[in-house]
Structure 1
Amino acid sequence: MTPSAAPRRTLRAVDVFALTVGIVIGAGIFRTPALVAGVAGDATTMILAWVAGGVLSIIGALCYAEMAAAWPHMGGDYHFIGRAFGQRIAFLYAWARLAVIQTGSLALLAFIVGDYLQILLPLGPAGPAIWAGIAVVAVSAVNWLGVRWGTQAQR
């Protein structure tokens, strides 16, 4: 990789830590424990499920760390999938991620935020959807402002 094409380092260790915690835990932490507890049945099974999820998350993170160290290139998943399976599959994955995976995840998390904000500041029957829309616009605006703003908001 030529020096001009190398990614610029703009995040500090504390920024990366905050982003990682936010990505792994996210807003789902406000909904998921009740669902896991309902399915698990007892406290021991629930704790074991969370530990197993944590172990799998660490394994995945270590895999990404190894791939990023072995092939330092911008593009993340797209780059790694392209190396493993070819550019066609990477292209399809990128479009699926854009059109389905990220948008579905964003909508789900926005509605979780909307449900909680509706309890605090009710806006009528459409309140959760309105709050979800406001949350998406607000987070998008912060990210549009740049990496520094996004990391400050995450902290």
Structure 2
Amino acid sequence: MASAKRVLKTFDVTSMVTGNMIGSGIFLLAGYAAAPISNDITLILAWIGGGIMALLGAFCIAELSTRFPETGGDFLYIHKVFGPFPAFLFGWMSLAIFETGSV
């Protein structure tokens, strides 16, 4: 089986991931998230805490992608760890729920 051609550069992939993570929801939802918080320091700490959690998640995905250097992403990781049936379920959930929610 032929290997996939790697034509995307670091900037291309970084831009795609950043656009997927941020999306347009940050401009609308930030006000709703900040409304119930009365203290400015608490709001800043909440944003920092969320950023740290997102960074830890990114580190986990980076570790998995270096451990399994194949195409497939999350489907591949679930298949390798939990087996084919959970990966199959994730694939369909990703198609029907996760990816269509951003449209």
Scaled by the length of structure 2, the TM-score of the pair is 0.89
Tell me what 2:40 maps to: 43
Q: Which runs of 5+ in 2 are unaligned?
A: none
Note closer, same or farther for the CA distance 1:80–1:43 as it changes in structure 2 (3 Å cut): same
| Equivalence map 1:105-116=2 (5 Å) | 106-107=102-103
Aligned identity (percent) is 37
1:93-108 mapped onto 2 (5 Å cutoff): 93-104=90-101, 106-107=102-103
Pairing partner for 2:21 from 13, 19, 24: 24
Q: Does 1:63 align with 2:64?
A: no
- Aligned counterparts, 1:9-20, within 5 A: 9-20=6-17
In structure 2, the partner of 1:88 is: 85
The root-mean-square deviation of aligned C-alpha atoms, in Å, is 1.5
For 1:72 and 1:39, the matched residues in 2 are separated by 44
The amino acid that maps onto 1:40 is I
Deviations 1:35-55 (A, max 9, x none): 111133322122111111111
Cα deviation code 1:77-105 (max 9, x no counterpart): 1000011111000000110111112212x
Mind listing any 5+ residue stretches in structure 1 that lack a counterpart?
Answer: 108-155
Task: Kindly provide the CA deviation profile for residues 103-150 of structure 1, in whole angstroms up to 9, marking residues without a partner as x.
Answer: 12x24xxxxxxxxxxxxxxxxxxxxxxxxxxxxxxxxxxxxxxxxxxx
The structure with the largest helix share of the pair is 1
Structure possessing the higher radius of gyration over alpha carbons = 1
The separation in 2 between residues aligned to 1:33 and 1:8, in whole angstroms, is: 39
1:22 deviation in Å? 1.1
Higher relative contact order (CA 8 A, sep 6+): 1
CA distance in 2, matches of 1:39, 1:76: 37
Instruction: Determine the structure 1 residue equivalent to 2:73.
Output: 76
How many corresponding residue pairs?
103
What is the CA–CA distance in structure 2 between the aligned matches of 1:91 and 1:49, rounded to whole Å? Answer: 35
- Give, in whole Å, the separation in 1 of the partners of 2:93 and 2:36: 30
